[in-house]
Chain A
Amino acid sequence: MNSYPRELLQQLAPVMFVAGLDAPAQTPSAPPTPQAPVVPAENTEQPPQTPTRSQDPFTVLTLRLREALQAQRRVEIWQPDKTKSFQVELVGKDARFPPRKLVPPDDPQYTSSHSPLSPLTPSSPLHPDGIIAPIWIRKHTTLLPSVFVLFMRLYESPSQTPRSPLDLPDPDREREREQDERRKDTDLSAEVAHRKRFTNERGIKLTVVLMASRKMLDDPGLDTRLTFIRRQSGLDSRAALFVLSPVSQNELGDFVHSLQQALYEPALEYYTSHSKRVRRKRNRHASQPVPAYPNPLSPMGGAGVARPLRPEGWTVRYEYKMACFAEFRGEDEVALKHYQDAYEMLMIMFGSPVILPPRTKRWAEAKVLADCINIKITKLYLYNNEHALALSHHNTHMRKFGDFSRGWGIGEDTFEYWSWMARQHRILAELLEQGTRSTLTIPIHAPVVSSSALANASEKGSLASRGALPGMELDAMRSLGINPSQALQHPGYYYYMAARCTEARRARFLVALQAEESQGVGSTSPGFANEKKVDHLVIILELYTKAYELFKKYTITTSQDQNIGRLPLWIAYRIAQTYYDSGKFDMAVRFFERIAKTYRREQWGSMLKPLLETWYACAQQLGEMELSIRLLIERLGHDSDESDPGALEEDLLAIFKSTVPSSPDDPVIIDNIESQPIFDTNVVFWSSEVKINESAAFQLTLTAPPITQISSLPFQSLEVQFSEGIEPIVIQHVNGSDDDASESSIRKIDLGSIATGESSDPRVLQANLRWPQAGSLIFTGTVSSSVPRTITIIHMRLKLVEGAWKVEIPLDPCRTRSSFSASSGRWLSGLDPPKFIAVQREDFSSVNVRYPSHSVIVSLSHQSPAYLNEDYPVTVEITNTDSKELDVVMDVLLQPTDVDYAVNTITLDKEQSSAMIKGVAVGVLAPGVSVVKMLHILSTGAVGDRMIDISVQSRSIATSQPPNVNEDDSPISPALLDITDILQTVTIPTVDPFKTTMNVAYKRALSTRPGLGDLRTFDAEYWDDSDGGEAFITSIFECVGPWNLEIESFVLRKQDHAQAKVLESSIAEGTSGDTFAFEYLPGDEFTDACRVSVASADNRESESLPIPGPGEYCITWRRILPDDKRGSSSTSVFPLPSLHPPVDDLIALLDVTPRAKLHQPVPLTLTIRNRHPTRSANVFVQLETEASDSFVVAGLRSGRVPILLSGAEERLTWNLIPVECGHVMLPRIKIIDKRRSSTATADSEDNGIPVKIVDTRIEQRPGVPVTPVQDGVEGKESIIQPVEEGKVASVLVLP
């Protein structure tokens, strides 16, 4: 920016001149303008050095006012805020404005003469070939204000204060004072009027601020005085006169603010009128296109001949002026428009060498003007956040002038071109930098729409382009993508570009310089001499450094990674290069060091290579031999140029031979882990695991780089450090006598077996340590260990010794140079030709040494399947077949079963558990000894498989403590302990020993229901079975298991309760042991029948619930083992089934003897019971006799039974006299319930509902079907075929 006139770039703002605020701190003899008169209030001022100065309120006020006013606005290039603030210039009281024209107004030539700055005025700096100069801007920013503010003291008569209020006002004195004031005020008014005349002439607003004491403000005469002053001086009525008393800083701020607010409009008017004037001039000019000057079309006249400004030039001038005035007014859009017009016209001028011949003064001025207008336009766009437009304009500017430059002979191959380009980039960067410091934000160019929406957008876009959706066009286009060259980025990028351009400029300059030197012909370019004075590298460095700072600022480093970002690193690399170019090698080295760190870590070898090269060159220049060696060795790791593969090696050897280290005793250790190693290294162990003292074969391969030569590097020795407990080895170089071996690319060197031990001095072996190009040296050997451990190679160290230099290069045992190919396990199996076997293992570079596993036999024996409820024994036999004494511990785990209701327990050595028995010590077993453990499992609940895990741990007595164990160490891994685990799983199927079938039949109670008031029912032991009746339970047990059983006892354990009791059972209690104690074979059955009286509960609801069985069968049994032994006694329990007697409503029970004697009467009893809980019954009975009947009936034939209330019963009796022998049928009895029911149909009303007749002799009812209740035993209640309801059995009549 400094390369352009500041006036042409800065943001313009209304200018305010402030006079009358001369700093009292300054000595009065040196006011800003020498002609400035002393301030009228001078008599109140004290000399500046006196301590009272600061106490004088007006002095303080003046100082503060100066400060506040000057702080209003800073002259900046980037100043987009639109607060109504002024550019304040402090001037002297009688500051004069520059004359409009050179001739005084009364001169007759006045109208035809021009402004002193016009190109038409011969004395103008623009004469004869200027367009518009910075001085014009300066005139409007420093010499001509839009408003003029004059600060003055209001006269106050000094004698007022000491007066006592009691004194009477002295009329004389008072009058005198008033006259005094009037006189002073008249003076003041005259001064103002004088000033007013000046400002009026130029249309400048004049405002007077009168400073008066606070007391004065309260004076009633003040208004009169002010009116007088205004009238006298001819000030405007609006915003032209202010009174200010000494106030605090804050209030002063308010005052300054309101002063500007009040004066802003007049300022705008001032600039508007200027604009109008200029527009008039422009229009006038445009209307008379033929210039009035002679000789307009002879541009190629003599060099010194003045070329008057052509109409295009005038247009530029006027447009520029209008743009500036609009900018003063803060009208950015208008300013932009005029600037653009001016710029366009300039472009037309540049386009024609006739209008604007190149390399003239006007051409140079126009170029600067164009650049500045471009920046103004760019800036105005940026104010509006029109990034794309701004950049587009800037880019177009550069492209256009690039094209022009070619025509002017300063094309891309000249330093002028690049110098100019660099300047453009730089000024944009500076503008952006200023902008970002205030309001400008750099956009992020992430895609606006997600990729999923992209397809959508493209559709819209195509629609819009077809014009289908004109309104959407803009949005759609924006979302489609951006023009990358119009994407605003942070200023660092533009500084970077400027630096690159400057580099190009330097390159072109150097070419020109060379041409000059070689041909002795100086460049014809006029700037060449100047260019020679330029230190390009300093400029480049400055630009890069600025870019670096900005890149660093804009790089968001993640919190865990405090590193410099990669973009700044790149810039840093350029800086380092520039330092290198400018010969500041120490600086370059410092940069390289930092950059290389990141590049190494991220394995960007391609970028590291040129960096190392330059770095090495720096180190050479600096004479840092140690660094050179380091860098050379690091460079060995990267593939060098194919053209000269031995260059690095030669360099290294040359350093070794020609120099000595600074400290010869300490070896140079190249310990850069992140850099690429020279050798591809690889360690392969043949097997993943070996036993103790077994040797494990390994191969260690070091492969030289494929291109770079290292064959003559003086490697002295290779140290190989194994993991703990293995002796290190050193392989020393001997010059190979076996030349034939060194020729082949793969050599094998046998190291023999490596011993165990911690000996500090390593074993020394010898080998030829010279590598041909891409040659491999394979060291083979074996290693063994007496303790379990993991063996690998920890690190290696190559030593180079030559002359006084000792260099140590640590190597990773397993590392490849190129990140592209991962190291893999390859085992050399044959040398000629070389053959490799792939070792397909994850951890091929280490071997585990383990104890051999113990030989322990665990055998299990048991008689499967097991019975439910049986204490089932499993025999575990553990035999030590090893040669060592073993301490054996056993764990038993009963796996959780997925069988429902299964409850299982295991028992071992008195320990009982339902899940796991842990750590049962079996004891120390001598070799050959076996031990037997009995494990018992008791399975109950349900049949199914049970699984048991038996784990036997054996531990060697001799080496139970590993040798290197520390007491406080973390738990040793089991691999290091000499422990062997044997796991056995056994599945035990469990089956039922018996299958049971239980049948239940119900019978109604015959006895009459006791009356409601029957006292017996209140007895405690009264058993009311009238509702429930009796249940007959038949239980059949079948031995279903595969094993024979011996039943020891079979009993029915009664468990009578309130609702049911066992009346009798077919197995008499107490004697059962004798009856059933037999051996039973599979398929054998036995049975029991029992009779149960059921007393149903009083309420009907509870009857729906099943009644628990009033007892259970207990079978005590033993399994008969194959060897005729008896197993342990087990008990199976089968509860009686739950009972659920059916319920009746209205029922008729028929009772008759089953046998009768001929001609002897037998009674027939019919009991009609109404068991309905609520309903009464209206029952009709009809006995129908037929001729074929075998009986003679005495009794009721047909009749109505009295209404049966709920719960009541009625008994009817007949006498039957059999008249036939044999099984004879009873006469038919019909019982009909004729109770009206609302739901009954008319048809059934007549007939009634027949009532069931139950023959009590053959009654047998199944229970109410109940959903089987899970009571543990799923005894099967087979449904008995029910006797047909209503069927009446016959009577056997015998003679």
Chain B
Amino acid sequence: MPPGLRVNAVAFISAQNHPIIVRTFSAQDETTIKYHYIAHTSLDVIEERVNAAGGKSTDCYLGLLYAMEDVAVYGYITPLKVKIVLALALSDSVVRDVEINMIFKALHMAYYSSISNPFLTHNDDSVDGSRTLTVGSTKWKNFRRRIDEIARVVGNPTSTSIGGG
């Protein structure tokens, strides 16, 4: 990991384009809303990329979506169409796709293991697809913890492994 990689925010968006969670790691609180906008607008580019591939691509990693102001936004779409948006602090250096992809894989795993929690839907299994949204609710801390851990490890490359979340 080059030291330049700093995660500003991570957003998970459901297949129905509803926000699951938007997690920000920058200091100021007033910028939180900015990452909501970034996550939301990323959907445009994600849709464009996915449509351009004609639905045939099996690749989850979508690459750099756009760079705006002080962030570079990267996208990832799981096979079940959950979108992960990663906002990195913009720095003047080459960002290696392989690293971003690795972060995304870890985030995907974090999501995957969180959603597998059988207690998630213990109380409410009524609406299909709610499970994906439930995982981001404040009630379930584990998912947040996993994301925070990944962001921490990315920003602090002395730890070696980020796999497994």
On A, residues with C-beta under 8 Å from B are 392, 395, 399, 444-452, 454-455, 457-458, 461, 477, 480-487, 489, 493, 496-497, 500, 555-556, 558, 565-567, 569-570, 573, 599, 602-604, 606-607, 610, 818-825, 838, 840, 842, 844
- Which of chain A's residues has its CB closest to B138's CB? A820
B103: min CB distance to chain A, Å: 12
Which of B54-62, B109-117, B153-161 forms contacts with chain A? B54-62
Residues in B whose Cβ lies below 8 Å from that of A573: 37
- Asked whether any CB of chain A lies closer than 8 Å to the CB of B52, the reply is yes
A603: min CB distance to chain B, Å: 5
Could you say which of A451, A454, A485, A825 contacts B67, with CB atoms under 8 Å apart? A485
B12: min CB distance to chain A, Å: 12
Q: Is the CB of B40 within 8 A of A604?
A: yes
Could you say which of A485, A500, A604 contacts B19, with CB atoms under 8 Å apart? A604
Residues in B whose Cβ lies below 8 Å from that of A824: 123-126
Q: Is the CB of B101 within 8 A of A451?
A: yes
Q: Provide the bound-state CA to CA distance between A952 and B66, in Å.
A: 68
Residues in B whose Cβ lies below 8 Å from that of A461: 96
Chosen A-B contacts, 29 in total, with CB atoms closer than 8 Å, are A446-B49, A448-B97, A450-B57, A450-B59, A455-B98, A477-B94, A480-B94, A481-B100, A483-B93, A485-B72, A486-B92, A489-B66, A493-B67, A496-B68, A555-B48, A558-B47, A566-B40, A566-B41, A566-B43, A570-B40, A602-B40, A604-B36, A606-B32, A607-B37, A820-B136, A822-B127, A823-B126, A824-B126, A844-B126
Q: Is the CB of A493 within 8 A of B43?
A: no
Majority SS at the chain B contact face: mixed
Q: Is the CB of B126 within 8 A of A602?
A: no
B48: min CB distance to chain A, Å: 5
Q: Is the CB of A481 within 8 A of B127?
A: no
A355: min CB distance to chain B, Å: 27
With A489-B67, A820-B134, A821-B134 in contact, do A454 and B124 touch (Cβ < 8 Å)?
Answer: no
- Which of chain A's residues has its CB closest to B57's CB? A450
Could you say which of B18, B59, B127 contacts A451, with CB atoms under 8 Å apart? B59
Q: Is the CB of A823 within 8 A of B127?
A: yes
Q: Is the CB of A500 within 8 A of B69?
A: yes
Q: Is the CB of B92 within 8 A of A821?
A: no
Q: Is the CB of A483 within 8 A of B94?
A: yes
Q: Is the CB of A447 within 8 A of B97?
A: yes
Could you say which of B40, B63, B95 contacts A446, with CB atoms under 8 Å apart? B63
Residue of A444, A455, A555, A606 contacting most chain B CB atoms (<10 Å) = A606
- Asked whether any CB of chain A lies closer than 8 Å to the CB of B133, the reply is yes
Q: Provide the bound-state CA to CA distance between A840 and B47, in Å.
A: 37
With A454-B98, A487-B67, A489-B67 in contact, do A842 and B126 touch (Cβ < 8 Å)?
Answer: yes
Residues in B whose Cβ lies below 8 Å from that of A455: 98
Residue of A570, A607, A820 contacting most chain B CB atoms (<10 Å) = A820
A275: min CB distance to chain B, Å: 35
Q: Provide the bound-state CA to CA distance between A482 and B32, in Å.
A: 26
With A450-B59, A480-B98, A483-B94 in contact, do A603 and B69 touch (Cβ < 8 Å)?
Answer: no
- Asked whether any CB of chain A lies closer than 8 Å to the CB of B31, the reply is no
Residues in A whose Cβ lies below 8 Å from that of B51: 556, 558
Residues in A whose Cβ lies below 8 Å from that of B17: 602
Residues in A whose Cβ lies below 8 Å from that of B134: 820-822
- Which of chain B's residues has its CB closest to A455's CB? B98
A706: min CB distance to chain B, Å: 12
B160: min CB distance to chain A, Å: 16
- Which of chain B's residues has its CB closest to A609's CB? B33
B110: min CB distance to chain A, Å: 18
Digit string of B14-55 for contact with A (CB within 8 Å is 1, else 0)?
000111001000000000110011001101110111011000
Residues in B whose Cβ lies below 8 Å from that of A482: 64, 94-95
Q: Provide the bound-state CA to CA distance between A477 and B98, in Å.
A: 12
Q: Provide the bound-state CA to CA distance between A461 and B57, in Å.
A: 25
Q: Is the CB of A444 within 8 A of B52?
A: yes
A813: min CB distance to chain B, Å: 14
- Which of chain A's residues has its CB closest to B128's CB? A822
Q: Is the CB of A822 within 8 A of B63?
A: no
Which 6 A-B residue pairings sit nearest by Cβ, starting from the closest?
A484-B72, A822-B130, A820-B137, A447-B63, A824-B124, A822-B127
Residues in B whose Cβ lies below 8 Å from that of A484: 64, 67, 72, 88, 90, 95
Q: Apart from A461-B96, A482-B94, A821-B139, what are 4 other A-B pairs with CB-CB below 8 Å?
A: A444-B52, A458-B96, A606-B32, A822-B126
Q: Is the CB of A570 within 8 A of B97?
A: no
A560: min CB distance to chain B, Å: 11
Residue of A444, A447, A555, A607 contacting most chain B CB atoms (<10 Å) = A447
Q: Is the CB of A607 within 8 A of B40?
A: yes
Residues in A whose Cβ lies below 8 Å from that of B47: 558
Residues in B whose Cβ lies below 8 Å from that of A444: 49, 52
Q: Is the CB of A821 within 8 A of B124?
A: yes
Could you say which of A451, A567, A818 contacts B61, with CB atoms under 8 Å apart? A451
Could you say which of B57, B93, B98 contacts A457, with CB atoms under 8 Å apart? B98
- Which of chain A's residues has its CB closest to B130's CB? A822
Could you say which of B36, B52, B96 contacts A480, with CB atoms under 8 Å apart? B96
Residues in A whose Cβ lies below 8 Å from that of B69: 497, 500
Q: Provide the bound-state CA to CA distance between A822 and B135, in Å.
A: 12
Residues in A whose Cβ lies below 8 Å from that of B88: 484
B143: min CB distance to chain A, Å: 12
Q: Provide the bound-state CA to CA distance between A844 and B126, in Å.
A: 9
Could you say which of B18, B37, B90, B95 contacts A819, with CB atoms under 8 Å apart? B18
Q: Provide the bound-state CA to CA distance between A645 and B117, in Å.
A: 34
Could you say which of A395, A445, A558, A567 contacts B92, with CB atoms under 8 Å apart? A395
Q: Is the CB of A567 within 8 A of B130?
A: no
Could you say which of B18, B63, B96, B127 contacts A445, with CB atoms under 8 Å apart? B63
- Which of chain B's residues has its CB closest to A396's CB? B92
Q: Provide the bound-state CA to CA distance between A678 and B94, in Å.
A: 48
Residues in B whose Cβ lies below 8 Å from that of A458: 96, 98
B21: min CB distance to chain A, Å: 9
Residues in B whose Cβ lies below 8 Å from that of A445: 63-66
Q: Provide the bound-state CA to CA distance between A165 and B102, in Å.
A: 95
Q: Provide the bound-state CA to CA distance between A446 and B49, in Å.
A: 7
Could you say which of B36, B91, B93 contacts A606, with CB atoms under 8 Å apart? B36
Could you say which of A483, A599, A821, A840 contacts B95, with CB atoms under 8 Å apart? A483
With A483-B95, A567-B41, A570-B41 in contact, do A454 and B64 touch (Cβ < 8 Å)?
Answer: no
Residues in A whose Cβ lies below 8 Å from that of B18: 602-604, 819
Could you say which of A500, A555, A604 contacts B44, with CB atoms under 8 Å apart? A555
Residues in A whose Cβ lies below 8 Å from that of B139: 821
Q: Is the CB of B22 within 8 A of A606?
A: yes
With A570-B40, A607-B33 in contact, do A819 and B67 touch (Cβ < 8 Å)?
Answer: no
Residue of B32, B51, B126, B137 contacting most chain A CB atoms (<10 Å) = B126
A1292: min CB distance to chain B, Å: 95
- Which of chain A's residues has its CB closest to B93's CB? A483
Q: Provide the bound-state CA to CA distance between A820 and B127, in Å.
A: 11
- Which of chain A's residues has its CB closest to B53's CB? A446
Q: Provide the bound-state CA to CA distance between A567 and B19, in Å.
A: 16
Residues in A whose Cβ lies below 8 Å from that of B61: 447, 451, 454
A544: min CB distance to chain B, Å: 14
With A493-B66, A606-B19 in contact, do A481 and B95 touch (Cβ < 8 Å)?
Answer: yes
Residue of B33, B60, B68 contacting most chain A CB atoms (<10 Å) = B68
Q: Is the CB of A838 within 8 A of B95?
A: no
With A485-B91, A500-B69, A603-B18 in contact, do A566 and B44 touch (Cβ < 8 Å)?
Answer: yes
Q: Is the CB of A447 within 8 A of B137?
A: no
- Which of chain A's residues has its CB closest to B73's CB? A484
Residues in A whose Cβ lies below 8 Å from that of B65: 445
Q: Is the CB of B137 within 8 A of A449?
A: no
Residues in A whose Cβ lies below 8 Å from that of B62: 446-447
- Which of chain B's residues has its CB closest to A388's CB? B94
Q: Is the CB of B92 within 8 A of A823?
A: no
B138: min CB distance to chain A, Å: 8
- Which of chain B's residues has its CB closest to A478's CB? B94
B37: min CB distance to chain A, Å: 5
Q: Provide the bound-state CA to CA distance between A484 and B133, in Å.
A: 31
B14: min CB distance to chain A, Å: 9
